[in-house]
């Protein structure tokens, strides 16, 4: 076999008049009768190869039998293309390889879809024939980009003295958080391993072990429903540091992210990144991961309507809720467009969508008749209403208003192309609440995870909350406790999150008491961590980046599937392998598993 000494995509001036051996796939063949052009492709690119019938009839005949995606090896002389026939679209477009020897290493059946074009393909087709999909340029570039990102990431961690350690995949199920993937134990009937949702506990134990600075690029697994930015298995850049506070973790993170953007995209991010409090993010954008590349901010109106006659608003305010609005300025939306937006908010759980349209100084609205003149005037002034504006309202419990208007804002931003996709909006969201009330479980749950440290100045509120009998009072005390947590948000996606952890037993026990995790259970579920903390746990904290999301955002892609070599469909299926699938009864028996029905 002729063995490659050059990649097709690397043919350049220095190869002129030299002999090269290429290995690759037939990208395209153009037969002109007496001359055949063959575009040969490998990982690095494409080069045109040529054979003329009168010069080399045997090779010409062989080349005539070539079809798309045949695998070939060829030897040839590189020459400059005749003037006027250069192809500026190709990196190697000034040159061509005159074929002297040609070996067909393998044939290829008729393709299910063209590899050489960027035809839109259904997700199912892409994934079923992923090996062909990955031959396509954009997908190939996505993976090569990702590859470079791994290398830069490792280098930056190395420069900063981090140690790479692997943590177990067969581990213990822990309460709180996402649903675990379980692995039945053959050696221990009835017992199960859990696949890790993240290396969280292990990396903290590594800090106790004195490794000081740890990192890992690691798969995490969560058995939850999928989204464009969520796969059941995904990759995190995970790290943890000892003897640090949030400033250390954040500034290292900034170095890593800024380096990736600089070296991969040539984009210089301004450091330190901007910071926004959780509260401000929610109040202005209705989201803890705001996309600030467009306006349409939420406007507070509760005070204006606190005594209103309009029942919908008044009831919301009386029961502790809020009234907020967004003003889609100069949009001149038609009734039909407003109806479509109404349908959208209804699909996410709103009862309806109140609106006012400003037209030539006149107001058009189904709810205006319920407002007093003062309310209308105050409202118009607050939202800075001008002709052409359409104002949308939401009045409900705070969380609901944020959800409705936050999503509506985003929906409008996308639907009406308000987003400047040429820039990156990078920010930290900080000052998260430590705990939030879970209405379903009737208890407090950790917003990040139960090991997140509260701010020192807020700890006394936790103590006080424990002593408070009345639930509403207790809620308001607990909700005012801020966590030493931080999320990195880029273009409206949470690409990373972390915190300074609790490293002292007493504080951890206090948090467990508030989470209503009984001592017995805490001991049973993560007693190993609590025990480790007894033996000299250093103060520590860390962060994990969602690697797939980060790469997708940097590549300007909407779905992380496009940066994962072999992703799953929305139902968690792998069309390439057919996983998940049934297994042999014998396998089940070994695992002591009996299927119901």
> In angstroms, rounded to a whole number, what is the distance separating the alpha carbons of residues 300 and 532?
48
Q: Residues 10, 23: contact at Cβ < 8 Å?
A: no
Do 400 and 247 form a contact (C-beta atoms < 8 A)? no
Phi-psi region of 556 (alpha: psi -120 to 50; beta: other; left: phi over 0): left
**Smaller CB separation from RNA, 177 or 539:** 177
Of 479-508, binders to RNA (CB under 7 A) are none
Specify the 3-state DSSP secondary structure of 343.
helix
Phi first, then psi, for residue 543 (nearest 5°) are -165, 160
Q: Cβ 244 to RNA, closest distance in Å?
A: 19
- Our CB check for RNA shows the closer of 185 and 569 to be 569
The verdict on 96 binding RNA (CB under 7 A) reads: yes
Among 222, 474, 501, 549, binds RNA (CB under 7 A): 222
Is the Cβ of residue 151 or residue 340 nearer to RNA in the bound state? 340
384-413 residues in contact with RNA (CB under 7 A) are: 403, 407
Q: Tell me which stretch binds RNA (CB under 7 A): 218-226, 468-476, 577-585, 587-595.
A: 218-226
Chain residues 437-456 in contact with RNA, contact rule CB under 7 A = 440, 445-450
In this complex, which beta carbon is closest to RNA, that of residue 349 or of residue 518?
349
Give me the least distance between CB of 463 and RNA, in Å please: 22
Q: Report 44-63 residues binding RNA (CB under 7 A).
A: 48, 50, 52-54
- Could you give the CA distance from residue 447 to residue 437 in angstroms, rounded to a whole number? 9
Looking at beta carbons only, is 226 or 378 nearer to RNA? 226
SS3 437: strand
Site for RNA in 170-199 (CB under 7 A): 176-179, 197-198
The residue count for binding RNA (CB under 7 A) is 75
233 interacts with RNA by CB under 7 A: no
212 φψ region: left (φ > 0), alpha (ψ -120 to 50), beta (else): left
d(CA 402, CA 398): 6
How many residues are present in the chain?
A: 597
Hey, which residues between 555 and 594 contact RNA (CB under 7 A)? 558-559, 561, 569-571, 573, 575
89 lies in the site for RNA, by CB under 7 A: yes
Cα distance between residue 100 and residue 74, in whole Å:
7
Contact characters 331-350, RNA, x per CB under 7 A: ----------------xxx-
Backbone angles phi, psi at 409, to 5 degrees: -55, -50
Within positions 119 to 158, which residues make up the interface with RNA, using CB under 7 A? 119-125
Site membership for RNA, residue 219 (CB under 7 A): no
* Comparison of 113 and 370: residue with beta carbon closer to RNA: 113
Cα–Cα distance, 237 to 154 (Å, whole number): 10
Least separation in angstroms between CB 78 and RNA? 12
Q: Which is nearer to RNA, 195 or 358 (CB)?
A: 195
Q: Does position 218 bind RNA by CB under 7 A?
A: no
Buried/exposed code over 241-269 (b: 16+ C-beta within 10 A; e: otherwise): bbebebeebbebbbebbbbbbeebeeeeb
């Amino acid at each position: 076999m002729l063995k490659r000494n050059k990649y097709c995509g690397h043919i350049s001036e220095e190869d002129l008049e030299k002999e090269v051996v290429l290995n690759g796939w037939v990208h395209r063949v153009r037969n002109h009768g007496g001359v055949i052009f063959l575009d040969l492709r490998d990982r690095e690119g494409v080069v045109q190869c040529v054979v003329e019938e009168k010069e080399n009839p045997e090779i010409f005949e062989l080349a005539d039998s070539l079809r798309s995606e045949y695998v070939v090896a060829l030897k040839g002389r590189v020459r400059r293309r005749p003037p006027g026939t250069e192809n500026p679209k190709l990196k190697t477009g000034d040159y061509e390889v005159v074929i002297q020897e040609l070996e067909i290493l393998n044939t290829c059946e008729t393709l299910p879809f063209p590899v050489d074009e960027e035809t839109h393909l259904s997700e199912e087709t892409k994934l079923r024939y992923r090996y062909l999909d990955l031959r396509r340029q954009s997908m190939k570039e996505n993976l090569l980009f990702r590859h470079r990102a791994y290398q830069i990431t490792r280098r930056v961690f190395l420069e900063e003295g981090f140690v790479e350690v692997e943590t177990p995949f067969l581990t213990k199920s822990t309460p709180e958080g996402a649903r675990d993937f379980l692995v039945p134990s053959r050696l221990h009937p009835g017992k199960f391993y859990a696949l890790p949702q993240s290396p969280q506990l292990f990396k903290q134990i590594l800090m106790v072990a004195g490794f000081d600075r740890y990192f890992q690029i690691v798969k995490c697994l969560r058995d939850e429903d999928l989204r464009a930015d969520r796969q059941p298995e995904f990759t995190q850049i995970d790290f943890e540091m000892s003897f640090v506070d949030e400033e250390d973790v954040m500034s290292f993170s900034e170095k890593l992210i800024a380096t990736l953007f600089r070296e991969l995209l040539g984009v210089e991010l301004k450091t330190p990144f901007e910071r926004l409090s959780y509260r401000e993010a929610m109040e202005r954008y209705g989201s803890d991961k705001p996309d600030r590349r467009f306006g349409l901010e939420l406007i507070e109106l509760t005070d204006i309507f606190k005594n209103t006659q309009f029942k919908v608003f008044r009831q919301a305010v009386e029961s502790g809720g809020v009234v907020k609005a967004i003003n889609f300025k100069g949009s001149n939306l038609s009734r039909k467009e407003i109806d479509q937006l109404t349908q959208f908010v209804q699909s996410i759980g709103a009862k309806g969508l109140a609106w006012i349209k400003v037209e030539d100084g006149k107001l058009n609205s189904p709810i205006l008749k319920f407002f007093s003149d003062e309310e209308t005037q105050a409202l118009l002034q607050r939202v800075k209403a001008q002709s052409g504006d359409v104002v949308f309202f939401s009045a409900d419990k705070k969380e609901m208003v944020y959800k409705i208007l936050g999503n509506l804002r985003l929906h409008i931003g996308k639907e009406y192309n308000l987003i400047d996709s040429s820039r990156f909006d990078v920010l930290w969201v900080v000052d998260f609440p430590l705990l939030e009330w879970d209405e379903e479980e009737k208890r407090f749950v950790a917003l990040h995870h139960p090991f997140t440290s509260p701010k020192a100045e807020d700890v006394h509120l936790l103590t006080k909350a424990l002593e408070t009998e009345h639930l509403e009072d207790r809620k308001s005390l607990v909700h005012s406790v801020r966590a030493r947590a931080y999320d990195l948000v880029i273009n409206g996606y949470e690409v990373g999150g972390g915190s300074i952890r609790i490293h002292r037993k007493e504080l951890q026990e206090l948090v467990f008491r508030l989470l209503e995790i009984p001592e017995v259970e805490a001991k049973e579920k993560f007693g190993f961590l609590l025990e480790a903390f007894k033996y000299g746990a250093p103060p520590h904290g860390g962060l994990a980046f969602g690697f797939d999301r980060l790469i997708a955002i940097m590549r300007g892609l909407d779905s992380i599937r496009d940066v994962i070599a072999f992703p799953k469909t929305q139902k968690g299926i792998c069309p390439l392998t057919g996983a998940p699938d049934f297994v042999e009864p014998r396998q089940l028996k070994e695992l002591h598993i009996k299927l119901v029905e």
